[in-house]
Amino acid sequence: MDRFRELEAFVAVVDSGSFVQAGEVLRSSKTAVSRLVQDLETRLGARLLHRTTRRLSLTEAGRNYLPRAKQILVDLEEADGMVSSATRRVAGLLRVNAPVSFGILHLAPLWGAFLAFHPDVELDVTLNDRVVDLLDEGCDIAIRIAQLADSTLVSRRLASTRLVLCASPEYLALHGMPTTLADLARHWVIGYSYAPQGDTLTMVAPDGPCSVRTQPKFHSNNGETSRAAALDHQGIVLQPDFLISSDLAAGRLLRILPELEGEELGIYAVYPTRKHLSGKVRALVDFLATAFAQPAWRAENG
């Protein structure tokens, strides 16, 4: 039990940024939290935190230890939840936020089954492609597709998706098939407004990452709109396989430069805290983890 409390104290200190705030989160004193972290460092034989009068920072050992410590706490919470959710009625309003295209294509078909399992739950689902603040906007859980940055939020990886570079056969017949990534600088490209790198496309070659600056003639902040433009022969698009796998399988879109790999993104369920996690949130996270254990877009890609 003490080892669990040590991990809990260490993670709380890092997430909150101070021993005082960690004590408030854990409903304990600053002294007790400090003692738990010191005990953890003594047991490990390594300093995990640099402590000064102004700030705390992780040592190299602390940076390496933190993700494993967080995962252990998540695994324990989920193990407890598997047992307790089986005996506890799940009820109440559950507010969910998700990206538009993923929400329509892959979440919408699941809501009926979830409500059939939990008829006392009321769902309120919102879709948009911006990153919402869960606390400010009153969301219980969000689905995010990204390389998830370090955060005070808790996440569970549900599946993954890979970005694929493709275009319609008609577009390629008219404009030619690119033979190098640099060729995209002179092609019509369909840009995604929320792309972290803007109009620069980065792919991974056998010898490492490579990039090209494109000049899109078409931008959209929505994946389905970008897909529709590609199907209408308006240019080359980089979109996740969960969105365009059926088009690739049917030949409506053709993969370009298959020797290059697009970025792999995690699909996560994100929620504000693991402590006192509500039964309805835990029920939905477990349901989605089961539903996406073998994603449909993987089967379509063969």
Q: Which domains does the chain have, with CATH numbers?
A: 2-85 (1.10.10.10), 89-159+265-300 (3.40.190.10), 161-264 (3.40.190.290)
| Segment holding 243, helix H or strand E | helix 241-250
Which stretches in the chain have pLDDT values below 50? Answer: 1, 87
Q: Which of 106, 139, 95, 96 shows the shortest CA–CA distance to 224? A: 106
Q: What is the pLDDT of residue 68?
A: 84
Whether residue 110 contacts residue 288, with contact meaning beta carbons closer than 8 Å, is answered with: yes
Would you state the pLDDT for residue 173?
97
CA–CA dist 223, 52 (Å, integer)? 46
Burial class (CB in 10 A: 0-12, 13-18, 19+), 278: middle
The pLDDT of residue 189: 95
Residue type, 190: I
Q: What is the pLDDT of residue 120?
A: 92
pLDDT at position 87 is 46
